[in-house]
C-alpha cells in the first residue's frame, strides 16, 4: 500500500513538472531531462510511469477531462455558463490545464487526438444543453450540437488572446462577454435576464 | 526599374516560401535554409531583403493587414460579416495568411507583437461597428469595442478548431454559426432577419 501510494505520488509529480515545462516551452522544445530535473526523480522512475514524452503529453491532455466539473444549478444554462467561467479561472493557475490547452491548440510533432480535449468539452456542454432544451430553456430551432461546438471554439480563441494580452488575467471577463452576446440567440427571452454571466460571488 | 522589379519579385518569393515553411513547421522549427531551398535564391539575396528569420516573420504578420479588405455593403454589419467570411475562405488557401495566423497564435521564441494582427483586425472591425452604430444597426447599450474583441477572439479559436478537424474546410460554416448566434444580441431586431450569415453567391 505504501509503495502504491509512493508510485501515485511520483506519477503526479512527473505530470505536474511536465505540465510546467510544456506550458512554458511547448511540446517540441520540452525535454524529459528538464522534466526530470524538476521532479528530482530518476530516469528509471520516469520510464516506469511513462514510456515516452508523448505518453506524458497524452496523460496531461486526458487530465483535461477531470477539470470539467459541472456545477449543479437549477437552470441548466447557468451550469454551462459557470462551467466555462470556472474553467477560465482555473486556466489562470492550473499548470496541468494550461499545458493541456497548449498541447491541443498548437501544431507540433505531438499529434494531439482532438477527441481528448475538444470532444470531451463539447460532450459535457452538449449534455447540459440537451437537458436545458428539455426544460424549455433554449429557443426553438436552435441546434444545440452547433452551439456546443461554437462555445468550445470561441472559448479556445478567447483564452489564446487573453494569454497574449494579459497572461489570462482578463479571461473570466472575456468569457462573460461571450455569454452576454450569445444568450439572446440561445436562451428563451424570459430566461436571458435571469442568467448570471459573471462569476458567482465567492 | 528592371532591377527594382526583380528586387520586389525576390522579396515576394521569399515571403511566399517562408509562409509555407512557417505554416508547416511553426516558427521555431522553420529554418532559413529550407526557405532558401524553396526560393532558389542565394543567402546573400535573402539577407539583402531580411536580416533575420525574425524579420521575415514580422513581414508576414504585417501582410495580415492587407488581407483585411472591407467589402462595401449598404448595411455596415453585413460588411463585418462578409469581411470575416472572406477571411475564412482565404485562410483555406493563402499561405501568407495561414502563416501569419500561426505566428500570432502559437507561443514561440518569435515574440509576435499583438498590435500587428489582433489589433489590426479589431481596429478594422471596430471602425465598421462604429459606422453601424451611427446608422442605428446596433442594439442600444452594446459596447462595440467589446464586440470587436469578441469577434476576433472567437474567430481565432474557430479557425484553430476547424484546422484540427477539417484542415479549415468547415471554417466558413463555423463562421456563419458564430454570426447566427451573435446577431440577436448585437443587431437591431428588424435587421437580424435581413442580414446574410452565409457567404455571398459567387
DSSP class of residue A72 equals P
Q: Kindly report which listed range (A66-80, A126-140, B108-122) carries the lowest average pLDDT score.
A: B108-122
CB contact under 8 A, B29 and A28: yes
All residues of chain B having their beta carbon less than 8 Å from the beta carbon of residue A145 are: none
Q: Kindly report which listed range (A32-36, A67-71, A141-145, B189-193) carries the lowest average pLDDT score.
A: A67-71
Bigger pLDDT: B173 or A26? Answer: B173
pLDDT of residue A114: 64
Domain boundaries, chain A: 2-60, 63-192
Whether residue A3 has pLDDT greater than 90: no
CB contact under 8 A, B181 and A177: no
Cell numbers for B54, please give them: 525574425
- Interface pTM, i.e. ipTM: 0.88
Percent of all residues in chain A with a pLDDT value above 90, rounded to a whole number: 63
pLDDT of residue A174: 98
Average pLDDT over residues A84-98: 92
Tell me if A81 sits within 8 A of A196, measured CB to CB: yes
Look up cell 539577407; give the residue.
B47
Relative orientation angle of helices A118-134 and A144-166, to the nearest 10 degrees: 130
Bigger pLDDT: A116 or B197? Answer: B197
Whether residue A9 has pLDDT greater than 80: yes
Task: Single out the residue of A106, A96, A191, A109 nearest to residue A142, CA to CA.
Answer: A191
Taking any CB pair shorter than 8 Å as contact, residues of chain A touching chain B are: 26, 28-29, 102, 104-108, 112, 114, 118, 146-147, 149-150, 152-165, 174, 177-178, 180-186
Q: Kindly report which listed range (A62-76, A81-95, A144-158) carries the lowest average pLDDT score.
A: A62-76
Is the C-alpha dihedral spanning A37, A164, B165, B64 positive or negative?
A: negative
Bigger pLDDT: A94 or A126? Answer: A126
Task: Give 10-residue mean pLDDT values along chain B (202 residues).
Answer: 79 91 88 91 90 91 78 95 94 89 82 77 95 97 98 96 93 98 96 93 65
pLDDT of residue A62: 83
What CA–CA distance (Å, rounded) separates A195 from B52?
52
Whether residue A67 has pLDDT greater than 80: no
Percent of all residues in chain A with a pLDDT value above 70, rounded to a whole number: 98
All residues of chain A having their beta carbon less than 8 Å from the beta carbon of residue B181 are: 147, 150, 182, 185-186
All residues of chain A having their beta carbon less than 8 Å from the beta carbon of residue B28 are: 26, 28-29
Q: What is the CATH T-level fold of the domain B63-192, as seen in this structure?
A: Tetracycline Repressor; domain 2 (1.10.357)
Q: How far is CA A175 from CA A147, A189, B63, B162, B188, in A?
A: 15, 21, 30, 20, 23
* Confidence band, pLDDT 50/70/90 cuts, at residue A1: low
Distance of CA A106 to the CA centre of its chain: 15
Task: Single out the residue of B95, B88, B122 nearest to residue B35, CA to CA.
Answer: B95
Q: Which of B164, B165, B173, B192 to mutate to test the interface with A (most CBs of A within 10 A)?
A: B164
Bigger pLDDT: B111 or A156? Answer: A156
Minimal Cβ distance to A184: which of B106, B177, B185: B185
* Confidence band, pLDDT 50/70/90 cuts, at residue A115: low
Average pLDDT over residues A111-132: 87
| Architecture, CATH, for domain A2-60 | Orthogonal Bundle (1.10)
pLDDT of residue B3: 78
Q: Which residue of A has its CA nearest to B180?
A: A185
What is the interface size between A and B, counted as CB pairs within 8 Å? 118
CA atoms within 13 A on the CB side of B159: 24
CB contact under 8 A, B160 and A157: yes
Amino acid at each position: 500500500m505504501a509503495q502504491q501510494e509512493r508510485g501515485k505520488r511520483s506519477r503526479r509529480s512527473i505530470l505536474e513538472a511536465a505540465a510546467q515545462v510544456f506550458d512554458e516551452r511547448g511540446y517540441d522544445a520540452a525535454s524529459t531531462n528538464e522534466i526530470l530535473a524538476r521532479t528530482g526523480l530518476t530516469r528509471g522512475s520516469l520510464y516506469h510511469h511513462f514510456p515516452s514524452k508523448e505518453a506524458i503529453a497524452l496523460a496531461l491532455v486526458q487530465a483535461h477531462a477531470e477539470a470539467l466539473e459541472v456545477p449543479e444549478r437549477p437552470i441548466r444554462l447557468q451550469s454551462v455558463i459557470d462551467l466555462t467561467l470556472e474553467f477560465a479561472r482555473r486556466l489562470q493557475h492550473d499548470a496541468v490545464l494550461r499545458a493541456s490547452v497548449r498541447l491541443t491548440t498548437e501544431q507540433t510533432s505531438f499529434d494531439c487526438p482532438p477527441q481528448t480535449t475538444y470532444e470531451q468539452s463539447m460532450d459535457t456542454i452538449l449534455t447540459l444543453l440537451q437537458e436545458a432544451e428539455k426544460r424549455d430553456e433554449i429557443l426553438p430551432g436552435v441546434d444545440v450540437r452547433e452551439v456546443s461546438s461554437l462555445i468550445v471554439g470561441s472559448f479556445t480563441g478567447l483564452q489564446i488572446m487573453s494569454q497574449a494580452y494579459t497572461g489570462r488575467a482578463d479571461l473570466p471577463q472575456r468569457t462573460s462577454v461571450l455569454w452576454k452576446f450569445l444568450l439572446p440567440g440561445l436562451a428563451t427571452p424570459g430566461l436571458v435576464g435571469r442568467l448570471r454571466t459573471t462569476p458567482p460571488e465567492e
